[in-house]
C-alpha cells in the first residue's frame, strides 16, 4: 500500500502542470486561436518563477512572477497573430523557440540553486486516512487550485453568457463580429489566460515537481498539453482525465526504470511521447477531432475583410 500511495501521489504532482497548461490552451483554442507556444511559455514560467522565488524568498511571489511572464509571452503572440494576422502556427513555434532561449538567459545564474518544495496543506483527521488521506487531503495549494480552475473553466464555457460568446467566436468569428462582439478583444483575453496558465504550470515544475532550475526542464510537456486538448475534444473534464493518464504514464516509466525491468532506458523515457502519438492516431481514426474542433480554429480574423 505504501508503494501504491507513493505512485499515486507522484502521478498527481506530474499531472497538475499538464492539466493547468491544457486548460489555458483549451480556452484559447475555444476562441479560435491555435497557440503552439505553450512549451515556450511554460519554460519561461519555470525560469522566472524560480528566479523570483529565490530572490524574494517567497513561493507565492515566484508563482505570480511566472504568471506575469507567461502573460507577457502570450501578449507577444497575440500582438503578432491577432494584431498583425500572422500565421498562428509559425508564430507559436517561434514563441517556443524564443522561450527556450530566453529561459536559459533568465535562469543562468540559478543553475544548481535549490528551494524547499512547495508546502502542502493538510486537513486535520482527513489527511490521516489510509491511501486517500494524503492523496486527497494533503496536497500543495496549486493541486487544489487546478481542480477549482477546471471547474471554473467548465462553468464559464457552458453556464455563462461570456463563455457562450467565446465559443461563438471560435465557431464563426464573422457571425460574432456581425452581432457586435469584439472578436479580437475576446481572443486576446483568451490568449492571455492561456499564457497565465502556462506560466503557472511552468512555475509548478520548478517550485514543486522538481524544486530546482534546469535548462529545458519542461521536456516537451507543453506539447503534451497541446495533445491533451485534442484528446479531450476541447472539454475541461476530459482534459483532466487526459492529464492524469499522461501523468500516470510518465511516472510509471520512471518506476519501471528504477526497478530495472531490462527495458532500454531510452525506450522508457520515450514512452509518454509514444503514448501521446498513439492516442492522437486513435482519435483521428475515430473521426472525432475534425467534427469537435472549433470551426474557426487557427483562422485569422481581420475586421475590414
Within a domain: 298 = no
Within a domain: 15 = yes
How many Å apart are CA 227 and CA 151, to the nearest integer? 20
Within a domain: 304 = no
Within a domain: 261 = yes
Query: CB pairs under 8 A, 24+ apart, for 128-131?
Result: 130/1, 131/1, 131/4, 131/5, 131/8
Within a domain: 302 = no
Q: Give the H/E segment covering residue 18.
A: helix 2-30
| Cβ neighbours of residue 63 closer than 8 Å, sequence gap 6 or more | 49, 53, 142, 200, 203, 204, 207
Q: Which residue has the higher pLDDT, 297 or 284?
A: 297
CA nearest 107: which of 209, 203, 200, 22?
A: 203
Rounded mean pLDDT, 245-253: 81
How many Å apart are CA 299 and CA 53, to the nearest integer? 39
Within a domain: 213 = yes
User: 289 pLDDT exceeds 90?
Assistant: no
Domain holding 21, by residue range, is 2-292
Within a domain: 305 = no
Report whether 96 contacts 222 (CB < 8 A): yes
Count the neighbouring beta carbons within 10 Å of the beta carbon of residue 67: 22
The string of pLDDT tens digits covering residues 11-60 is 899 999 999 999 999 999 999 999 999 999 999 999 999 999 999 999 99
User: 74 pLDDT exceeds 90?
Assistant: yes
How many Å apart are CA 47 and CA 103, to the nearest integer? 6
Give the pLDDT band of residue 265 (cuts 50, 70, 90). low
CA nearest 228: which of 245, 214, 243?
A: 243
**Rama region for 77: left / alpha / beta (φ>0; ψ in -120 to 50; rest):** alpha
How many Å apart are CA 284 and CA 174, to the nearest integer? 28
Q: What CATH number did the domain enclosing 32 receive?
A: 1.10.3470
The string of pLDDT tens digits covering residues 111-132 is 888 888 888 888 878 777 877 8
Q: How many domains does the chain have?
A: 1
pTM of the model: 0.91
The 10 Å CB-count burial string (b at 16+, else e) for 174-205 is eebeeeeeebbebbbbbbbbbbbbbbbbbbbb
Give the pLDDT band of residue 195 (cuts 50, 70, 90). very high
Burial of 12 (0-12, 13-18, 19+ CB in 10 A): buried
Within a domain: 164 = yes
Amino acid at each position: 500500500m505504501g508503494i501504491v500511495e507513493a505512485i499515486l501521489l507522484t502521478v498527481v504532482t506530474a499531472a497538475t502542470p499538464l492539466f493547468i497548461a491544457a486548460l489555458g490552451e483549451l480556452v484559447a483554442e475555444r476562441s479560435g486561436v491555435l497557440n503552439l507556444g505553450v512549451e515556450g511559455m511554460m519554460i519561461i514560467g519555470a525560469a522566472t518563477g524560480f528566479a523570483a522565488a529565490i530572490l524574494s524568498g517567497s513561493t507565492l511571489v515566484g508563482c505570480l512572477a511566472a504568471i506575469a511572464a507567461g502573460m507577457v509571452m502570450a501578449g507577444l503572440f497575440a500582438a503578432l497573430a491577432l494584431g498583425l494576422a500572422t500565421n498562428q502556427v509559425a508564430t507559436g513555434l517561434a514563441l517556443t523557440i524564443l522561450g527556450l532561449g530566453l529561459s536559459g538567459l533568465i535562469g543562468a545564474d540559478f543553475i544548481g540553486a535549490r528551494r524547499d518544495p512547495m508546502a502542502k496543506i493538510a486537513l486535520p483527521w482527513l489527511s490521516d486516512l489510509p491511501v486517500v488521506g494524503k492523496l486527497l487531503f494533503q496536497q500543495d495549494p496549486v493541486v487544489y487550485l487546478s481542480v477549482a480552475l477546471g471547474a471554473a473553466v467548465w462553468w464559464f464555457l457552458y453556464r455563462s453568457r461570456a463563455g457562450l460568446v467565446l465559443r461563438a467566436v471560435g465557431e464563426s468569428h464573422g457571425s460574432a463580429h456581425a452581432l457586435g462582439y469584439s472578436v479580437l478583444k475576446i481572443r486576446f483575453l483568451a490568449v492571455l489566460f492561456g499564457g497565465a496558465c502556462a506560466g503557472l504550470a511552468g512555475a509548478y515544475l520548478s517550485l514543486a515537481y522538481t524544486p530546482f532550475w534546469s535548462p529545458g526542464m519542461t521536456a516537451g510537456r507543453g506539447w503534451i498539453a497541446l495533445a491533451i486538448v485534442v484528446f479531450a475534444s476541447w472539454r475541461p473534464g476530459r482534459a483532466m482525465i487526459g492529464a492524469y493518464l499522461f501523468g500516470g504514464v510518465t511516472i510509471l516509466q520512471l518506476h519501471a526504470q528504477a526497478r530495472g525491468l531490462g527495458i532500454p532506458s531510452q525506450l522508457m523515457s520515450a514512452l509518454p511521447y509514444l503514448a501521446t502519438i498513439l492516442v492522437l492516431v486513435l482519435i483521428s481514426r475515430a473521426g472525432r477531432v475534425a467534427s469537435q474542433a472549433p470551426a474557426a480554429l487557427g483562422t485569422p480574423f481581420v475586421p475590414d475583410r
